[in-house]
Amino acid sequence: MRISVLRLGLVIAVAANLAACSAFERLDHIGEAPPLSPIGGGAHTADRSVSLPMPQQEPDIYQANSLWAAGSRSFFKDQRASKVGDIVTVLISIDEKAELSNETDRSRKSNETADVSNLLGFEQEAGRLLPGGYDPTKAVGLGSDSSTQGAGSVNRKEKIDLTVAAVVTQVLPNGNLVIQGRQEVRVNFEVRDLMVSGIVRPEDISATNEVKHSQIAEARISYGGRGQITDVQQPRYGQQAVDILFPF
């Protein structure tokens, strides 16, 4: 018991220390706009240089007396993303609506009755052992009654219409492209953050180097924000801790 209390105290102390560090960091930036992450997935470097996946530089191989380069898709260079480091435009257009309604009503009732009016005379012996008023014709009686009622409904509507540029971070062995993009927009003291990642087929990329979000496999789309407005919309740290720890 004592060890459990010590562990709980250690967890609370660590959580309080982390919360204090975050609080001090926020106090240090009071009155300032929230910072934007540096280009390149948030890589923090001394010179703030851009760090992005880049393709391997391979020299073009031409056949003798030919202007054709081996590996080219067409006579003119294809402007669509195909290699690590290339950029592709992702069109996000989500307009979904879901309505579900379920209702369940179930009931069950059962009765069982048994009498032991004759059982080799043992019914008389049972009458001596049991309290007064024993009736062998009503020796056993069982009954049960149960009912269940439930109802649920879901009404959800989502609409997002955004465009973001993503970078090809990996080319899979089958030729599919892994893309990842992030866009940050700061307005006054609020930063809107848009992130998208997933896997696309080169064939799904249009001639204008665009791909729809519905054509992205394993799509991960996040649209949120941080800043003063977001802070006001969130419960305080103490209230969140009580919601997690309070068992009732």
Q: Give residue-wise pLDDT tens across range 155-195.
A: 888 888 889 999 999 999 999 999 999 998 988 889 888 99
Question: Using an 8 Å Cβ cutoff, are 171 and 84 in contact?
Answer: yes
Q: How many residues does the chain have?
A: 248
The residue with greater pLDDT, 244 or 19, is 244
**Ordered DSSP codes for 177-245:** EEEEEEEEEEETTEEEEEEEEEEE-GGGS-TTSEEEGGG-EEEEEEEEEEEHHHHHHSPPHHHHHHHHH
| Higher-scoring residue by pLDDT: 193, 243 | 193
Span 142-167, average pLDDT: 85
Q: Binning pLDDT at 50, 70 and 90, where does residue 137 land?
A: low
Angle, helices 237-245/2-28, rounded to nearest 10 degrees: 160
- Residue 43 has what pLDDT? 40
- Partners of 167 in beta bridges: 87, 180
176: tokens are 């599919």
CA nearest neighbour of 168 among 200, 195, 194, 193: 200
User: CA angle at residue 128 from 125 to 131, to 5 degrees?
Assistant: 135
* pLDDT > 70? residue 106: yes
Q: Report the DSSP pairing between strands 140-171 and 190-200.
A: unpaired
The structure tokens 């979904």 sit at 96
pTM surpassing 0.75?
A: no
Q: Say how far residue 81 (Cα) sits from the centre of its chain.
A: 28
User: What is the percent of the chain with per-residue pLDDT over 70, rounded to a whole number?
Assistant: 58
Q: Phi then psi for 233, rounded to 5 degrees?
A: -75, -15
The pLDDT tens digits of the residues spanning 3-48 come to: 565 666 665 665 556 555 666 666 676 666 667 666 555 444 444 4
Contacts 24+ apart (CB under 8 A), 26-33: 33/186, 33/188, 33/189, 33/227
Higher pLDDT residue, 220 or 134? 220
Range 85-101 average pLDDT = 89
Query: Residue 88 and residue 209: Cα distance in Å, rounded?
Result: 6
